[in-house]
Amino acid sequence: MRFPSFWISLLLLILGFLVYWPLGVVAIFLAALYHHFIPAIIYGAFMDILYGPPPVFLHFLHIPFTLLTVVFVVVILFAERILRRRKSAATL
Amino acid sequence: MIVPKDTRGRYRSRISLRVFLFIVMVLVIAFVVFMGRGISGYLWKGLAVLSPVTGGIGSGARAVYAELESKPGLLAENEALQSQVAALQSELTDYNAVIEENIELKAQFGRLDSAQSAILAGVIAAPPRTPYDTLEIDAGTDEGISVGDLVSAGNGLLIGTVDTALSSSARVTLFSSAGETQQGYLRGSTPVTVIGQGSGSLTTTIPAGINASVGDVINFPGIAGDVSEVVSALEAPSGNSFETLYLHLPVDPYSLRFVSVRLTAAQ
C-alpha cells in the first residue's frame, strides 16, 4: 500500500488550524517532500491568508508561509537532483 | 549534438512542469498579497464553528496528561495551590481597598475611567492556534474597533494592541510578540523599555542599583496605572551595571476567552 502522504499532510494542516499551528508547517514540508507541490503552495497560501503577515519581527516577508513553501520545494528539487547525479555517477 | 526523441520529450515536459509551477506560485502569491486579509476574517469565523471540536481535543489531551501525572505529586500541588489561594485572597482584600480609594481620588479630580468606552470581544483563536503571539477576536470596524486600540483582559490588565481591523474581526498583537517594544514604568516609577520575545515572555534592562524583585509590575504609561507585565525572573551578574528582567503578561493569553477593547476612535 502506498503511503497516503497527501491525506496525512491535509490532516496535519487541519490539525494545525484547530490545535497547534506548527503542524501546518509540518504539513507543508510533508506535501513538498512527496512532490505534492501545488497542494503545498496552496497550504502555505492558506496559512498566510489566515494568519496574516507577521506583526513586527519578519514583517517585511509579508507572506512567510508561502515563501517557506517555495524554499522547501526548491531545496527538495535540488537535493533530489544532487542525489540522482551521485547515484548515476556511482553506477557508472 | 543530436538528442534522442524521447529524452527531448522528457526534457520538455520537465521544463513545462517548472513553468507551470512558477505560474501557480506567482498567482497564489498575488492572490494572498492582494486579497488575503480581506477573507481571513470570514475564514476565522468559519473555524470558530469548530471550536467545540478543538475544545474537545484540548480537554482530551489534558485528561490524558492528568492520568499520567502521579497522585502524590498532584496532592502536593493541590496543597501548595490551596495555601497560595489563601495568601492571594488576603492580598486581594487590600488591593480592592486601594482600588476603591484610587477611584474616589480620580473622581475628586475629574479623571474617572468610566469616560473611556470599551467593548467586549470574544477570542476566536489564541496561541498555540495562532503564530506570532496574536489573538483573533470576533469584533472589528463594525463595532468601532480601529488599529492601535489597547486591549485588556479586564481589571486594568493590558495585554496588547489591535494590529489589523477587518469589518467583523480583528487581530490583536500581544506585547510579548517577538520584537514588539513598549514603554512602561517599573513599580510605577522607573521608566523601562520592554521588548517582546515571543511565547508570552518579555525582557527589559534596568540599572543595577534599582532593587527589582520577582512579582514587581510594569505599569503602562497613563493615569489609569494599568498593569502590562509582571517580573518573573531577574539576572544580575556581579560587576555588571545593568540587570536583565524577564517578564510575562499579567494573564495567561493561552486561556483567554474574552477581552476588552478600549476604543480610541470613540473618544
- Adjacent-strand bridge partners of B243: B206
Beta carbons of B157 and B165 less than 8 angstroms apart: no
Q: Mean of the pLDDT values across residues B150-175?
A: 88
| A43 closest CA partner among A62, A60, A61, A25 | A25
Instruction: Out of A17, A54, A57, name the one closest to residue B47 (CB).
Output: A17
User: In which band, very low, low, confident or very high, does the pLDDT at B173 lie, cut at 50, 70 and 90?
Assistant: very high
* B3: DSSP letter: P
pLDDT at A28: 92
**Position with higher pLDDT, A91 vs A8:** A8
CB atoms within 10 A of CB A11: 14
Tell whether the torsion through CA atoms of B69, B72, B73 and B76 is positive or negative: positive
How do residues B89-118 score in pLDDT, each as one tens digit? 777 777 777 777 777 777 777 766 555 688
pLDDT at B246: 92
SS3 string, B175-231, reads CCCCCCEEEEEECCCEEEEEEEEECCEEEEEEECCCCCCCCCEEECCCCCCCEEEEE
User: In which band, very low, low, confident or very high, does the pLDDT at B11 lie, cut at 50, 70 and 90?
Assistant: low
pLDDT at B68 over 70: no
Would you list the domain boundaries of chain B? 1-68, 71-115, 117-267
Residue that the C-alpha cell 556511482 belongs to? A90
pLDDT at B220: 84
Looking at mean pLDDT, say which of A74-88, B10-24, B70-84 comes out highest: A74-88
pLDDT at B162 over 90: yes
How do residues B122-131 score in pLDDT, each as one tens digit? 888 888 888 8
Residue that the C-alpha cell 486579509 belongs to? B37
CB atoms within 10 A of CB B208: 14
Closest approach of B131 to chain A, Cα-based (Å): 7
Start-to-end Cα distance in chain B: 77
pLDDT at B161: 92
Q: Could you tell me the CA-to-CA distances from B66 to B55, B59, B69, B70 in Å, in that order?
A: 16, 10, 5, 8
pLDDT at B115: 53
| A18 closest CA partner among B125, B234, B36, B235 | B125
CATH architecture of B117-267: Beta Barrel (2.40)
pLDDT at B266 over 60: no
Residues of chain B in Cβ contact (below 8 Å) with chain A: 21, 24-25, 28-29, 31-33, 35-37, 39-40, 43-44, 47, 50, 53-54, 57-58, 128-132, 134, 163-164, 171, 173, 177-180, 196, 198
* Residue ranges making up the domain that contains A76: 5-91
pLDDT at A64 over 60: yes
pLDDT at B144 over 70: yes
Interchain CB distance below 8 Å, B24 and A18: no
Closest approach of B242 to chain A, Cα-based (Å): 25
Whether ipTM tops 0.95, in short, is no
How do residues B26-35 score in pLDDT, each as one tens digit? 777 777 777 6
How do residues B34-62 score in pLDDT, each as one tens digit? 766 667 777 777 776 666 666 666 666 66
- State how far the Cα of B165 lies from the Cα of B145, in Å rounded to an integer: 7
How do residues B180-198 score in pLDDT, each as one tens digit? 898 888 887 888 899 998 8
Write out the three cell numbers for B186: 517599573
pLDDT at A26 over 90: yes
How many domains are there within chain A?
Answer: 1
pLDDT at B5 over 60: no
Q: Mean of the pLDDT values across residues B231-236?
A: 88
pLDDT at B167 over 90: no
